[in-house]
Amino acid sequence: MIDAFPLRPLAGVFARRALQALFVALAVGTVSFFLMRLLPGDLAFRIAAGRYGYDIVSAAAAEAVRAELGLDRPWFHALAAWWGELLHLDLGVSLVSGEPVAGDIAHQLGHTLVLALSAVALSLLIGPPLGVLAGLRPGGVLDRATLVLAVVLRALPPFVLGILLIIGLAVHLGYLPAAGHGEATSLVLPALTLALGLAAGSCRVARDAMRDAAGSAWFAFARTKGLPDRAALLRHGLRNAAVPVVAYVGVQLAFVIEGVVILETLFAWPGIGHALVHAIFWRDIPMVQGTVLVLALLFVLLNALVDLACLAIDPRRRH
């Protein structure tokens, strides 16, 4: 088993991604810290408003928050303190709620993962099968139709596509709830919005990969030696076409992470993106740093899983 799947490529993947995760953690956390500090407005007043509400917040409350949190200290003290907490795997405490950031993120991340994984699964059910069928007949009706749909869907920003789906499926037809998370059907619209953008790209990647596979010498040899077209496709064509599709989905996971932040606010989905928007509005710096850090590390983890999937599909990559 070790000869079939040597450990050296696995060690390379883990070492490379571990170094990337360390760099991402320091860079993303530091950049988000400075960006929050550079936002206009009084930091203490924003935090006080997040705690007590804008209707009753006062200058005295803002000064009390400033003194309590030490916001008048030099910025490098706060940054060094966050670095020290990060070395102990502690994301700190929310400046607004006073609760540990890690606990809040763990609760919100579950909702985000449900949405993201549902979108990826739905996109894989839509995009690659259509791409394989289009790649078997390049220039055909299906190929041209999927090209037009892919261009339109990729050109639309996620929030615009989400609004169009809300107007069509929720407002006019009444098939699905427009927002919220109280019902199981509330997941359909945000997941479909993310999935359509992903499926548009994966469809064209699968189409090109299947076209190249169907026109290759080894695929022609598989048919020459007596394999039916269906058997040649299942045994040889799909596996070779799957490698670029899996790699593309890994790259497009950034699209999912970006879309989640926007669409959770649009669809009132209680995930990590929705919480990030509120944390930025309230200037909750530890919450913003922790949330952005988790999103970045999640992206690194998913790319590592894509690397492992490509190693499993294509034995040539193991050497």
Residues 6+ apart with CB under 8 A from 61: 48, 51, 52
> HSE-up of 203 (CA within 13 Å, CB side)?
26
Q: Sketch the domain layout of the chain as residue ranges.
A: 102-282
Q: How many of the other CB atoms lie within 10 Å of CB of 136?
A: 18
Topology of the domain covering 102-282? MetI-like fold (1.10.3720)
Q: What is the pLDDT of residue 3?
A: 44
Burial level of 44, CB count in 10 A (0-12/13-18/19+)? buried
| pLDDT in single tens digits along all 319 residues of the chain | 344 556 666 666 677 777 878 888 888 888 888 888 887 777 787 888 777 777 777 778 778 878 877 777 777 888 888 888 787 887 888 888 778 888 888 888 888 888 888 888 898 889 888 888 888 788 888 889 988 988 888 888 888 888 999 998 888 888 888 877 777 788 889 989 988 888 888 888 888 877 877 666 656 666 666 666 666 666 666 666 677 777 777 777 766 766 677 788 888 888 888 788 888 888 888 888 888 888 888 878 877 777 777 677 666 655 5
Residues 6+ apart with CB under 8 A from 57: 45, 48, 49, 51
Distance from C-alpha of 291 to C-alpha of 273, rounded to nearest angstrom: 8
Output b/e per residue, 102-133; b: 16+ Cβ within 10 A.
eebbeebbebbeebbebbbebbbebbbebbbb
Q: Summarize the chain as % helix, strand, coil (round to 5).
A: 80, 0, 20
